[in-house]
Every structure is written in structure tokens, then in C-alpha cells.
Amino acid sequence: MNFFRWIDCTDKRRPQRIERSSDTVLRLAQLTDPHVPGEITLVRRLRDLMRPHRSASNLSHELSAISNELSHTYRKQRKIYTNLLKKALLGLRRAEVDHLLITGDVAHCGMAAEFLEMKAVLSITGWWGSPRLTVIPGNHDRFNLYEAIPEDPMESFFDVVSAREPRVKKLPGGVALFEIDSNCDRSDDRHYMEKWLPNTVGKIYPETLEKLDALRADIEGRRLLVLIHHHVSTDWYPRKTSRDLGGLMNPAEGIDELLELARLVDPNAVLLHGHIHDVMPLGYNFQGHQTLNPGGFAEALRLNILDVDAHGEITVTQIELRN
């Protein structure tokens, strides 16, 4: 299979291949943080920076926008990046993946053009539609960094959960998903750092846990995958300066309580997240739970494939897109 290069697998006895095993009853793939870039130009950002500002926070907002614009690896190569996404998603179809999981940051700047671009990529590669696709919001999806007037929210383009409205989804093969929006509620509980950085610190609300608990009886006994965007731990990635920057890259609030609830459904629930663009090595566990993050797509071009067998055992293979 020429689309991907094999990187690692949790089952060291398996051949170093990507082909679907005969004992797999459900095959899932995790893609995170694609950060599809939009059409905003740096000239426009500089123009906005030069206009009069009512406050220092407004000026800081514009500086943050410029920094965000420059940070995207494929900012000036949008078509190339879109084609890489298409290639990866077509490769997953060739690999006989049943269901695609995107753990946040579909968009880079939370703009309609970016959501529409990703929707088109998913459609043309055959992934569009709830039976084959689950997407949860990331911080860049929930905060439009560029526009004074907010654009349409992510819900206008994708079927996603909100900060206080989680969802449970049952999949074939005895698998269930906890879908959680780990962004702060921008209406009732907006984080003060959103003046400069969009929803950097994640949060899981008590109301979210209560609603998931009410749905628990319907999925008990299934293998559980917990989908959140914000990270749950900091000991696995090397960027210590990011971890120490005023607590901005601390794990999401409420993780311990979420895991207590998840254990009632599946003591070995698997956590899937993004947000941190470093690639998490396979075999990492957080509080006894296998935890997965293939890194930001623009930087790493990596994905995780999860194979579930008839006994509920999950084997994870990490792959990298061939350029």
C-alpha cells in the first residue's frame, strides 16, 4: 500500500503492514488537527494592525492574528495541503477503514471557507456522513481569530457536540464513543486568555459529565473511546517551555472526573485527543488508559489506525503519509 509508511504498532508480533487483518471487526482511523488554512492574506492583517486601536487588548488580538497566520506550515500552499488531505483520506479508504475520527481543529482560523474546504475534501473522498465520520470541535474551530463580526459556527457545517451537550454514539463491533467538546463555553464561561489565544485551556463541565452518566446504561459493556480535543497530560511531550507558559498548556480541567465516569462503562477505555501537535508514541498510558494523539496533521502527517477484534481487543497502528 503506497499511500502510507508504517511507523509502529502496539502488537509487536504483527507484521509491519497496514493491510486490514482478517480478525478485525471494526477498523477506525484517528486524524487530528488538520488546520485547513483559509484565504486570509498577511497584507490584510497588516492593514488591520495599522488602524487605530481602542485598547491594548485589541492590538494584542491583531498581533496574535498575524502570528497565527504565519505559523501554518502550508499557509502559502493551500492547494498542496488540500491534496495531501485528499491523498490521506483516499488512502484510508484503500486501507478498509470503516469509520474516521477527527479530534478537533478542522479549521485553522474558524472561518467558513476553511470548514467548507474540509467538508469538500471529506465528500470527494467518500467520508462525508455520520455513519462513517465523527468530528469533535477544537479550539481553532470555536474561535474566529480574524473577524470582528463572527462567522457561522462550526455547527453550520458539521454535526458536532457543544461545550455542555456531549453525545454517545454506538458503532458496530461493540464500540461506543464519548463525544465531548472540551472548549470553554464562550457565552457563559469565556476564558480571559481568549483576548489573545483561542480556548487554549480545555474544560469538561459537570453538566457534560451528568449527561454522559445519564446515557451510560445504554452502552455499558462496550469498548469505549473517549474523544476530546484538549490534551489530558503533559509528561510525554518535549516542549517544556510551552508547559510552563503561565499554565496555558495545562491539561483540560475535569479529566479525572471524566475518567472515573468512563471506567464505569469500560475499565480500559481509550482516550483520543489532539491539540498538542507533537506525536504521541504508541504505548503511552494515562491513569491506566491507552491514550492516542498522532500530532498535528500539517506538521506530522501521521494518523492512527485502531483495529477492534471480536473479543474487543484494540490494536493501534501508527502510519505516516508518503509525500
pLDDT of residue 239: 62
List the domain boundaries for the chain. Answer: 4-37+78-321, 38-71
Q: Report CA-CA distances (Å) from 286 to 102, 186, 269, 294.
A: 20, 29, 11, 16
pLDDT at 323 (0 to 100): 77
Vertex 155: Cα angle to 151 and 160 (nearest 5): 145
- How far apart (Å, rounded) are the C-alpha atoms in residues 231 and 213? 22
Q: Report the 10 Å Cβ neighbour count for 8.
A: 17
Alpha carbon of residue 101 to chain centroid: 8
Name the residue among 8, 28, 101, 103 with its Cα closest to residue 319. Answer: 8
CA-to-CA dists, residue 32 to 98, 187, 207, 318, angstroms: 17, 26, 26, 13
CATH topology of domain 4-37+78-321: Purple Acid Phosphatase; chain A, domain 2 (3.60.21)
- Give me the percent of the chain exceeding a pLDDT of 70: 79
Residue 323 half-sphere exposure toward CB, CA atoms < 13 A: 7
Taking the CB of residue 199, how many other CB atoms lie within 10 A of it? 28
Q: Which residues contact 150 (CB under 8 A, 6 or more apart)?
A: 144
Q: Which residues of the chain have pLDDT under 70?
A: 1, 39-76, 144-150, 190-199, 239-248
* End-to-end Cα separation, the chain, in angstroms: 14
Amino acid 246: pLDDT: 54
Structural element, H or E, at residue 239: none
- pLDDT of 188 reads 73
Residue with cell 465520520: 133
Q: What is the dihedral of CA 314, 315, 318, 322, to 10 degrees?
A: -110
| Predicted pLDDT of residue 151 | 77
**pTM value surpassing 0.85:** yes
What whole-number distance in Å separates Cα of residue 168 and Cα of residue 228?
Answer: 13
Tens-digit pLDDT profile for residues 216-260: 999 999 999 999 999 999 888 876 544 445 556 788 999 999 999
Distance CA 317, CA 306 (A): 7
In contact, 198 and 110? CB cutoff 8 Å: yes
For cell 474540509, the residue is 118
Residues 208-245, buried b or exposed e (16+ Cβ, 10 A)? Answer: bbebbeeebeebeebbbbbbbbbbbbeebbeeeeebee
Cell of 201: 485551556
The type of residue at 51 is R
